[in-house]
Structure 1
Amino acid sequence: MRTVPGPTGHTVVVGAGLSGLAAALHLLGAGRRVTVVERAAQPGGRAGRIEQGGYHFDTGPTVLTMPDLLEEPLAAVGRTLRDHLELIELHPAYRARFADGSSLDVHTRAEEMEEAVRAFAGPAEAAGYRRLRGWLEALYRAQLRHFIDTNFDSPLQLLHPDLARLAALGGFGRLDAGIGRHLHDERLRRVFSFQALYAGVPPARALAAYAVIAYMDTVAGVYFPRGGMHAVPRALAGAAEAAGADFRYRQEVTGLEQRSGRVTAVLTAHDRIPCDAVVLSCELPHAYRLLGRTPRRPVRLRRSPSAVVLHAGTDRTWPELAHHTISFGAAWEQTFEELTSSGQLMTDPSLLITRPTTHDPDLAPPGRHLHYVLAPCPNTDIGPGPADWRELGPGYRDSILTELEKRGLAGLGAAIEQQRLVTPADWSDQGHAAGTPFSLAHTFAQTGPFRPANLVRGADNVVLAGCGTTPGVGVPTVLISGKLAAARITGAPPRRRLPGRPVRTRPPAADEG
């Protein structure tokens, strides 16, 4: 593994998002002095927080899986997850509602899900679910050590026995076909393939290897941190500060002093911070601008679809909603075509509705509720541009509310007391290329050793972290990204272990209502 040469005693981490915080904790655990520079007033990056009218809106991810990956950076400084977070295992992990009026509670425990599938689609599909679950577990084991949790210096590192195992499992076939070998009910196939949206690739074109995301969602467990998702970066930042990290909030990095291929200081409007090494966990285009170089690639980078998000504080809720509810439209292949090729808004949308007050009513005023509605949409490279979205946004919000009311959430629009609408125009204002918070799509040419590397030629003491670099998009992978970045500086190989059942800090909780 290539590492940063020369002294690395003081590292500046640019960005206090999840990857930057993970990197900071691993660096602190390895004895480095760490300064974290963050332009916002709080940690979190994408996983931020807006407080409005007594409601606490999480601005980023709403789904937490693989909490053992939070244990690792905390353990680096002698802390445990239990010291900092109360996690609740969600039961069910999701509720899937379909256009034909049927619904399915998605459990991550094998016996419960097998029974749910049997009641939903019959014994043959229940047996297929058991086979699918075994396949997902095998795919995960084959990929974690040498394809996800690893620093690539060359594509030749792919030539490992695990590559043969992955091929034997059908990992280089298509995701939709791989799932179809086990399940025939189209509704069930959607439950285990909608995660391809996270990778920015339609299931019919995504590699079957990306079913590892479905493993995280439907096998490893889905959790909710009391205090909302923003409690996660707050916990990591608190542990880092207690371990000696110097946090400098409300300071945007404006430049890097460079000499002989090394960064010697990080510059803000207020400070010049001398350093021995730098972790840039900011957006990839911004990191390249700071460095004054963009690595050349044979083909243009392709970005994932974006999303419109409606944060709604309401005076009522609906009992048919679970903590996470996926409301599928009748369309499927057409939806992915619109999102990834034609650049149209979904004509028959599939939507994610999250109700965090299900398990933490303190996130809203007494007797009130939070609802987070995510509608995937094209990014601004292929769809409406930021200027268009400033016009489209209010009308699209109304159409989403109308659609949800048709699907059973009667009176949703009238129940809203506080709201915040986020569109690709807002993501663009925050510096997200192509107006998407989901960064680069996980096409084959942008995965593993072919994804933008976390080392940049000509910047000897700079390492990148975050969803734009290896291993990719999502809370688990950006946490790994921070660990891999720290390993480039400390020279210590990343600790790798195949987690068992993640440590539970509270018994499983059934959704209320």
Structure 2
Amino acid sequence: MKNGPVVVIGAGLAGLAAAVRLAAAGRDVQVVEARGEPGGCCGTATAGPYRFDTGPSVLTMPGVLADVFGAAGEDMDAWLPLQRLDPYYRLAYDDGSHLDVVAGADAMTERVAALCGPAEADRYRRFRRLLGEMFDAEWPVFIDADVTRLRSLARPAALLRLAALGGFRRLDRLAAAHLTDDRLIKAHTFQALYVGLPPRRALGIYAVIAHMDTVGGVYFPREGGMHAIPRALAGVAEKAGAQLRYGTRAVRVEADSGGVTGVRLEGGERIAARQVVVACDLPSALAGLLPPGVADWRTRRPKHSPSCLVMHFGLDRTLPGQAHHTLHLGRRWDAAFDALAAGRPQPDPNLLVTYPASDAGAAPAGHATLSVLEPAPNLHGPTDWARTGPRLRERLLQRMQDHGYGDLSGAPGLVLDPPAWQRLGHAAGTPFALDHRFTQTAWFRPSGAPRRVPGLHLAGMFTAPGVGVPPVLISGRLAAERILAERPLEGSR
């Protein structure tokens, strides 16, 4: 063989994003996926007539997703029509007030003025502009870029600009320097949970997440829920020529002194390959799938994000007026984050309730689905989940009843807690991979191109840019671009 196929291990969003671009560029691509369908972390499950998304529920930056389709000459709207949610979020505060996050600077400023007063609305408008400036400075240089080489950090102009904007302050202090109403500060700092850190430990650079969802908007597929995303990407990859092999487990990436030589599958089959994209749980892959030269100082003592307790419910009714995403923010804000940092359950948890009413196929007519996520410690903490899990589930049911959702104890559904996440293949029992402390950000995050194993590329949440649908899609694009930039190899091994 000359080049052989590129093997992509894992048909999640990162693996599919890489496969689409590689196949569209004319490469022979084989995607091997242990499960029986695409999706990876962006999965789906059923309970009777109800269907639930078991992965991410928040989709921002749809242009990143559209670029994947565009790389294959396809129109995303034809494969995956999206709708922009209105409101993006509803923030429900412990004092009984709420704030709907809506599209447009003027409309949103009016909402802030009604809740917090005109002076705070003026401050909000200025802060909103700051978020946009920070996003413009950060996105093209440190998020939408390959940072596998140390020199990628040598961007003095960009670093100085971010510093001037407050990017290296703590996130809570950055927000408090511009806003005075605690409710509005919380609205722009709760996103630190997405990167696994409390707001007072996260850097201000992560204010770009607040820009992405409160300014850029939150979207949802018109049909099929979030799992429609990997299904559509898999269809585009196959149309472009990729071969997707479901129910096929890779057990070893083989390499010699010159780099990757092939992939060994469960059952003994071997695919000769010089380039492999591994887009699955990295700690699990390091435990046997990957060759020895991959591990380095970045992977020796990984700091995982907190996990979550998620309860999915099938409702025999609908909830008129309920927002798609509602955040119920607790009274003990700092104590909640402190508990998570110490590996303990939150005393007064902040809850994300998702009500995908527009996903008509998720429930029978007149019925609906509802999901609630409570941040929780991962399995590296002291929590005894055999004892604590049932207690937290009962507490969460009571919280939901207190918030007006009724008695959900008898509703059909599904529960996912840290032990369940671990059984699904997530290291430390968290579906959020590594947290984004400074020493696990950009070049400091596990490299997408391990230098001691040429031809091996990593993609997904564990590599840069990191956690979230847009970063994961970008990681797949970066892996594909590195492969396409490599000089073609001749001969055989």
| TM-score, reference length from structure 1 | 0.91
Name 2:489's counterpart in structure 1: none
Query: 2 CA distance for matches of 1:133 and 1:476?
Result: 21
Question: Residue in 1 aligned with 2:380?
Answer: 381
- Tell me the residue number matched to 1:333: 334
In the alignment, is residue 22 of structure 1 matched against residue 23 of structure 2? no
Aligned pair partner of 2:398 in 396, 399, 402: 402
* 1:364 Cα deviation after fit: 0.5
- Aligned: 1:265 with 2:262: yes
- Spell out, residue by residue over 1:320-360, the C-alpha distance to the aligned partner (whole angstroms, 9 max, x if none): 531000011111111100011x221111111000011x212
Instruction: Please list, as runs of the form range in 1=range in 2, the aligned pairs for 1:431-450 lying within 5 A after superposition.
Output: 431-450=425-444
The separation in 1 between residues aligned to 2:5 and 2:71, in whole angstroms, is 17
3-state DSSP of counterpart to 1:325: strand
Report the equivalent of 2:491. Answer: none
Distance 1:369 1:15, change over 3 A: same
- Secondary structure in 2 matching 1:37: strand
1:73 counterpart = 2:71 = no
Return the match for 2:219 from 206, 212, 223: 223
- CA shift for structure 1 position 8: 4.9
Deviation at 1:163, TM superposition (A): 1.4
- Number of residue pairs matched by the alignment: 480
Instruction: Provide the C-alpha distance between the structure 1 equivalents of 2:150 and 2:255, rounded to a whole number of angstroms.
Output: 30
AA matched with 1:95:
R
Within 1, Cα distance between the matches of 2:176 and 2:423? 40
| C-alpha RMSD over aligned residues | 1.6
SS, match of residue 142 in structure 2: helix
Amino acid at match of 1:427: W
User: 1:154 aligned to 2:149?
Assistant: yes
Give the Å deviation of 1:198.
Answer: 0.7
Instruction: Give 5+ residue unaligned stretches, structure 2.
Output: 487-493
1:314 corresponds to which residue?
Answer: 315
Within-5 A mapping of 1:179-328: 179-226=175-222, 227-270=224-267, 271-288=269-286, 289-293=288-292, 294-297=294-297, 300-319=301-320, 321-328=322-329
Q: In 2, Cα distance between the equivalents of 1:9 and 1:345?
A: 49
| 1:393-427, Cα deviation, whole Å (9 max, x unpaired) | 3332111010121122233335x1x1100010011
* The 10-residue stretch of structure 1 (144-153 or 38-47) with the greater mean CA deviation from structure 2: 144-153
Q: State the match for 2:416 in structure 1.
A: 422
Q: Is the 8 A contact 2:434 2:440 kept in 1?
A: yes
Q: Is the 8 A contact 1:466 1:481 kept in 2?
A: yes
- Match of 2:451, SS? coil
Could you tell me how far 1:38 is from its partner in structure 2?
0.3
> Could you say which residue in structure 2 is the equivalent of 1:365?
364
Q: In structure 1, what is the Cα distance between the partners aligned to 2:443 and 2:387? A: 40
Q: Percent identity?
A: 48
Unaligned runs of 5+ in 1: 1-5, 493-513
Give the secondary-structure state (helix, strand or coil) at the position aligned to 1:309.
Answer: strand
Q: In the TM superposition, what are the counterparts of 1:155-170 in structure 2 within 5 Å?
A: 155-160=150-155, 161-170=157-166
SS of the counterpart of 1:452? coil
Q: Determine helix, strand or coil for the equivalent of 2:234.
A: helix
SS at the partner of 2:465? Answer: coil
More divergent stretch after superposition (148-157 vs 436-445): 148-157
Is 1:130 paired with 2:125? yes
Partner of 1:461: 455
Give the distance between the partners of 1:287 and 1:150, measured in 2 at CA.
Answer: 24
Displacement after TM superposition at 1:9 (Å): 5.3
Q: 1:9 to 1:83 in 2, by over 3 A?
A: farther
- Distance in 2 between the 1:28 and 1:9 partners? 13
After TM superposition, the score normalised by the length of structure 2 is 0.94
* One-letter identity of the residue aligned with 2:282: L
Partner of 1:504: none
Cα deviation, residue 254, structure 1: 1.1
Query: 1:320, 1:98 → 2: CA distance?
Result: 17
CA contact (8 A) 1:66 1:216 kept: yes
Aligned to 1:350: 350
Tell me the secondary structure at the aligned position of residue 302 of structure 1: coil
Match of 2:48 among 53, 60, 71: 53
**1:145-192 deviations in whole A, cap 9, x for unaligned?**
111111124333222221111111111111111111221111111111
Alpha carbons of structure 1 residues 169 and 55: separation in structure 2 relative to 1, 3 Å = same
Deviation track 1:231-272 (CA, whole Å, cap 9, x = no partner) reads 000010000011111010011111123233422221212432
Q: Partners in 1 of 2:438 and 2:361 — Cα distance? A: 43
Change over 3 Å in CA distance of 1:428–1:225 after alignment to 2 = same
